[in-house]
Amino acid sequence: MSKSLARVTAALQAAGLSITPLEVPSETRTAQQAATAAGVALDQIVKSILFAGATTGRLYLFLTAGGNQVNPDRATALAGEPLTRAEIDAVRRITGFAIGGVAPIGHLTALPTWFDPRLLDFPVIWAAAGTPRHIFPIAPADLHHLTGATLAPFTA
């Protein structure tokens, strides 16, 4: 088991959730790939979108429904500083995950996190489990609680 997958699994277990990440035969680097693999609607996929603060370099995490896009102006207002694209090496160093497998939980460093209200419209949502081939199902309320994310309308 990869270190990334192990961290996600440990975070789920520590929360008292009996959820086992699912290994799928094809990659789930995109929301559409994950939705196809899980056999669910695109918006039932949790995208972990990371931005870097232009002033501080701090990473900010936006958990959004698969079909939604983060609105840059709304995200900037929530973060309190202009945002830029997060650098690949910073994402790996700070979260412990590679792009395409960034999970919403199990990060090496706690990040300011926001949660798309659209995700609450489903009984179950699916998220990356730390690798491009692992995803896990979870109740939206459980993920919201587990991440400590702020519920906010930040999508376009």
CATH of the domain at 32: 3.90.960.10
CB-based contacts of 57, cutoff 8 Å, min separation 6: 90
Give the mean pLDDT of the chain.
96
The predicted structure's pLDDT at residue 74: 98
Domain-embedded: residue 77:
yes
Question: Could you tell me the residue range of the domain that residue 34 belongs to?
Answer: 3-151
Is pLDDT above 90 for 111? Answer: yes
Measure Cα distances from 147 to 93, 115, 117 in Å: 19, 9, 14
Whole-number Å distance between alpha carbons of 72 and 137 = 28
Is pLDDT above 90 for 152? Answer: yes
Torsion sign, CA atoms 63, 68, 72, 77: negative
Task: Give the pLDDT mean for 106-128.
Answer: 98
Measure Cα distances from 56 to 44, 81, 88, 123, 156 in Å: 32, 8, 17, 37, 25
- Looking at residue 72, the DSSP 8-state letter turns out to be H
Q: Amino acid identity of 80?
A: G
Q: Which pLDDT band holds residue 99 (cuts at 50, 70, 90)?
A: confident
Whole-number Å distance between alpha carbons of 117 and 109 = 24
The total number of structural domains that make up the chain: 1
Domain-embedded: residue 19:
yes
For residue range 5-59, list pLDDT tens digits in order: 999 999 999 999 999 999 999 989 899 999 999 999 999 999 999 999 999 999 9
- Cα distance from N-terminal residue to C-terminal residue, the chain: 37
% of residues, the chain, pLDDT over 90 = 95
% of residues, the chain, pLDDT over 70 = 100
Residue indicated by tokens 């991440």:
147
The predicted structure's pLDDT at residue 34: 95
Q: Classify burial at 95, counting beta carbons within 10 Å of its beta carbon; exposed 0-12, middle 13-18, buried 19 or more.
A: buried
Is pLDDT above 90 for 156? Answer: no
Domain-embedded: residue 156:
no
Backbone phi, psi, residue 114, to 5°: -125, 150
- The whole-model pTM stands at 0.96
Domain-embedded: residue 13:
yes
Domain-embedded: residue 113:
yes
Task: Give the pLDDT mean for 72-85.
Answer: 97
The predicted structure's pLDDT at residue 143: 98
The predicted structure's pLDDT at residue 131: 94
CB-based contacts of 78, cutoff 8 Å, min separation 6: 60, 114, 150, 152, 154
